[in-house]
Each structure stands twice: as C-alpha cells, then as structure tokens.
Structure 1
C-alpha cells in the first residue's frame, strides 16, 4: 500500500465519525477539518485524478437530492440541520465529498466490481444510518423496515452508479459524432 492510498483511506475512515459524532454533539468543525484535509490532499496537483472535481459535483448533487428526499418523505430527521431542517444538512454533504474523493483513489479497484458495490451499498447504508441514530445524529421517523428498504435499495443503485460514472475508459474515449453525421476519415 502506498502512502497516497493510506492517507486517502485514512482520512475517509475518519470522516464518518468526525461528521456524525460531531453533528450529534452540535459540532461542525470536526467534520470540516477532516474532510477539508481530504480535499486539500486529494486536490493537490500531485494527487488529483482528472475526474475528482466532476465526482465531487455529482456526489454533492446526488447526495443533496437523496438525503433531502429522506427528510421530505418523513423517513429521517438529521441533527444539526443547518442550513435548514427541510434539506440535507452540511455535515451530510461533507460525507458525500469524502465519498467522491475515494472513488478514483483508494477504492478505485471497485470500478469494475459493481455487484460488490451494490451489495455493500444495500447492506452498509442502513447500517450506517442506524449507527448514526445510535450516536444521535439522525432519527428514524418511519418504521425500521421502511428506512432499511429505502436507504438500502437506493444505495444499492447509487454506489455502483457513482463508480461506473468515474470509470477512466468513459472519460478518455473521444466523443462519438452525433448520429447521422458523416465523418471524413481521409483528413
């Protein structure tokens, strides 16, 4: 294992407790500090992957929609709901940034193992939300089976999708010409 792998995965592993336990205790700076360190490390020109910024944007957009949906559907309520209790809180968005920054780095080996990611997402996400509830960072408002089914199925789709979107072969291929366009191959 390289130093880059260890730093990336180490900061990723610290992000969850820093954000979740921090939110449970009304403290935002712990998550900001850890995820900020991950961002500085990964977006450094020596460590950055060409798709990192794109994946941060995708994860932030998808994460905002998904975690806001849990609130709007009456499934979950988050502690420290800044900036609004009606939307995914900032500390959850920090976790999405941390996910974005391991996809092309310490967890890149899973880009071609999407079924493993589907299983991990389907099982791991309800466990993560449950652990967060035990710390006091999230409250399950709906019956447990609804929260488990909804978050599990969603993450079973979302996690492999994120890794599929980050596959290098998709980014390095030249764009195909629009259908019906005649391409002169003699130029």
Structure 2
C-alpha cells in the first residue's frame, strides 16, 4: 500500500487481513511443507520467481486487487523480488531452527 504498487478495494492504512494471513501461512510452511525447495538455493529462487508472482496475480483476480504500474511490469518486478527473497527466507528459517 505504501509504495502504491497494489491498489486494494478495502480502505485503511494496512494491507487486508487475508494478505496478512497469507504471509503468516508462508512463514509457517517454510521449514516443513516447503523444506524441499531450500536446497539447492537456485530451486528456492526458481520457486520464488514463479510462485510469488502467480500468487499475487491469483490474489488480484480473487480479491479485486489491481496493479498500479500495470500487470506485466508488476509481475516481472515481483518475480525478481521473490527470486531473491525466497532463498533468503529459507536461510532465516534454517537459522531459527538451530
């Protein structure tokens, strides 16, 4: 919301509750359901580059979220972001485990 990338139909300063819950769900599955994608690192990067933008696109279609910068540029940006972020999140999850 703050950067103006996503335009939500719900008013308020925060992102919608359903999106907050999706983030919480991702955090709880990293060390269990998604553990297979942590090694090698490029697998996590590939999954992030594909799965991240697809998740946001699906959410936009289901919940009426629009992309302020257009669909293609936003999905490309999300792919680049999640390609870097997903391996990093796996690393954090593994460090917390030990």
Same topology, TM > 0.5: yes
| Preserved contact between residue 121 and residue 159 of structure 1 (Cα < 8 Å) | yes
How far apart are residue 111 of structure 1 and its match?
2.5
Compare CA radii of gyration and give the structure with the larger one: 1
What root-mean-square deviation, in Å, do the aligned CA atoms of Structure 1 and Structure 2 show? 2.1
Q: Distance in 2 between matches of 1:127 and 1:121?
A: 10
State the TM-score, normalizing by the size of structure 2: 0.80
Give me the TM-score of the superposition, normalised by structure 1. Answer: 0.46
Q: Is the 8 A contact 1:121 1:152 kept in 2?
A: yes
- The structure 1 segments of at least 4 consecutive aligned residues displaced by more than 6 Å after TM superposition are none
Partner of 2:33: 106
Give the number of aligned pairs: 98
- Structure 1 gaps, min length 5: 1-70, 173-187
Structure 2: any 5+ residue segments left out of the alignment?
none
Deviation at 1:171, TM superposition (A): 4.8
Higher relative contact order (CA 8 A, sep 6+): 2
Moved more, 144-153 or 155-164: 144-153
